[in-house]
Each structure stands twice: as C-alpha cells, then as structure tokens.
C-alpha cells in the first residue's frame, strides 16, 4: 500500500507539489495522470525516497522508503529507463542488482525471460539498446526483488503495441496477486484499460481521484442516427452539448438515456447509442486539466 498525505514540495518560490493526498491499494493498479509539469514525477520521486518533501509524508505500508531495510525487495521502482549504466550489459546490471539485494542469481535469468530479453540481447551493452529494450530491462530490475509495490513512471515509452499489451498483462497479473501498482502514463487509453483507480494532478494539486468507474461515470455518449443534423438541433434545444465526430455521428456530454429521450421527442431514428468508451478518459482528463494544459487550442490555429 502507498499512502500519501498532505505532500508538498517547494523549489524556492515554485510549488511543484501542493498538499497532495491519495492512497494506492493492494491488488489495484492506480493510474497517475496529469499534464507535463503537473507534479507527477516529483511526487513519485518523493515516494521512492529520491527527493525530500518540504512537508507531508509518503509511506509504503506505513513506513518511509528510506527506512526500509533492503528496499528493492519490498518496492520496485522504474522512474527513468535511460538512467542505466550504458557501458554494462543488461545481464550485468541485473546480476549486480541481485548481488546488492542478496538474492539468488537464478532470479536474473527468470526476469530476463519474463521481460522477453533474449540471451543475445542480455549480453549486449545498454548503450546499444532501443528505448523499448531499456524499458524491459528497467521493469526486470524493478521486479527482481519480488517486491510488494511497483512505482512506474511512463513504462510504456518506446514499447511497440505488442510490448504495451505484454506490459498491461504483466501488471494486471501482478496486481491480481495482491501487489500495489502506481503507474504514470501519457497513454490515456492504456490507463483506461488497466487502471482500477485514477488520480489526476494539475499544477501540483489533485484535481480528481477515485475508482475508474466513479470518475468516468457520466463522461458522455457516442450516437449515430439517420439524421444527425436534426438530432444535433434537438440536443441543443434540450441544452445538451453535442458535437460532430470525425468518423460520423455525435459526441454528446450526456448519458445515453438523455440522448435517447431527446431523439424520441423529435422522431429521429438512432442506429447506435452507447457510452463514449475510449474517449471517456481523454474527455475527463482534458476537462479536469484544462487550466493547466500547455497546448491551448485557438480559433486561429484551427483555421490554419
């Protein structure tokens, strides 16, 4: 379990993390979302004992990371896949880590096989690894000590679709066996698939948190009809926000039952009506972090 309470980190006059509190539960994957510079990485570094907090606490099963004996056997951490000794081979990095932790070297071969690094790749120097291979090596290092907690910052960077599917399966299995996972990612669709709980941060403050079902409830609908223009007029008259979707149909900021009621009132035949699926998390994220986004769309930019 990870418990963060009233965590604050200041760098001079800049407040990077501002009174942040949340909990990551055993057996659950917690997705940690926020725009660039929102405070995600700083929060994770504080939890992992790499950055001291200005105030507040971050505990792993009730204790500070820095007080845990042989911490890598309790907490697996991957914050930067590129922060590995470029002159060593992947196998050497894992063997040195195993020696430091005092665990059997057979575990190294198990982890290399688990993350699908071949013997030839494991014998290659890390400077010659792709980013995806470095991510796999970093995940192997994080899991080497068979920890109860995983803290992963953007672990899907550099992975191809098959690699992302592999990672998703790996983390789901880990959580299902009782492990605690804190996962930061900019791939919102992947978070929507794998996360049980979601924490959203913006400008250093928590702007939303809860179970995925709670946060995505009421996130909108996708609808197709025989007359989308008439349906759009009916929804607008009912003070329901709707907009055309690029692939046809409408995205609607209302529950399906409300959309169906508006369509029935004007006799429009619906051919599809469902929750917004993959668009839900993106819509929620953009709405909650609209004041903290670097890229703000403008009419001038849209017309170019």
Tell me what pLDDT residue 221 has: 84
Q: Which CATH number applies to 220-275: 3.30.70, 3.30.410, 3.30.479, 3.30.2450?
A: 3.30.70
Whether pLDDT at 186 is above 80 = no
Structure tokens at 19: 């009174």
Residues in Cβ contact with 10 at an 8 Å cutoff, skipping those fewer than 6 apart: 16, 54
- Reported as a pLDDT band with limits 50, 70 and 90, residue 300 is very low
The residue ranges of DSSP E strands in the chain, in sequence order, are 2-11, 14-24, 29-33, 55-60, 75-78, 149-153, 180-184, 197-202, 205-211, 221-225, 242-244, 250-252, 270-275
Mean pLDDT for 203-215 is 87
Q: What is the mean pLDDT of residues 297-301?
A: 40
Architecture of domain 2-211: 3-Layer(aba) Sandwich (3.40)
pLDDT at 59 over 70: yes
**Which residue do the tokens 């030839």 mark?**
120
| Residue 301: pLDDT over 50 | no
Percent of the chain whose predicted confidence (pLDDT) is above 70: 90
Domain ranges, ordered by start, for the chain: 2-211, 220-275
Closest by CA position to 44, among listed 71, 25, 24, 73: 24
């Amino acid at each position: 379990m990870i418990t963060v309470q009233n965590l604050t980190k200041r760098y001079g006059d800049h407040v990077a993390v501002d009174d942040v509190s949340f909990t990551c539960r055993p057996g659950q994957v917690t997705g940690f979302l926020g725009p660039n510079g929102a405070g995600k990485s700083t929060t994770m570094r504080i939890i992992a004992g790499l950055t001291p907090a200005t105030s507040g606490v971050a505990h792993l099963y009730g204790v500070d990371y820095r007080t845990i004996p042989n911490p890598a056997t309790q907490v697996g951490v991957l914050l930067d896949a590129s922060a590995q000794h470029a002159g060593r081979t992947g196998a050497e990095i894992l063997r040195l880590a195993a020696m430091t932790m005092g665990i059997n070297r057979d575990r190294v071969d198990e982890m290399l096989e688990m993350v699908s690094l071949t013997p030839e790749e494991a014998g290659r120097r890390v400077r010659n690894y792709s980013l995806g291979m470095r991510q796999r090596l970093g995940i192997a290092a994080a899991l080497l000590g068979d920890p109860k907690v995983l803290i992963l910052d953007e672990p899907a960077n550099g992975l191809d679709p098959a690699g992302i599917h592999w990672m998703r399966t790996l983390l789901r299995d880990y959580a299902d066996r009782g492990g605690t996972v804190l996962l930061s990612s900019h791939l919102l669709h992947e978070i929507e698939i794998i996360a049980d709980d979601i924490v959203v941060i913006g400008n250093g403050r928590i702007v939303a948190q809860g179970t995925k079902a709670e946060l995505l409830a009421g996130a909108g609908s996708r609808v197709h009809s025989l007359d989308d223009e008439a349906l759009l007029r009916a929804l607008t008259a009912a003070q329901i926000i709707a907009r055309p979707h690029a692939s046809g149909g409408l995205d609607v900021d209302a529950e399906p039952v409300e959309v169906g009621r508006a369509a029935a009132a004007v006799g429009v035949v619906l051919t599809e009506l469902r929750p917004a699926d993959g668009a839900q998390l993106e819509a929620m994220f953009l709405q909650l972090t609209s004041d903290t986004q670097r890229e703000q769309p403008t009419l001038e930019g849209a017309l170019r």
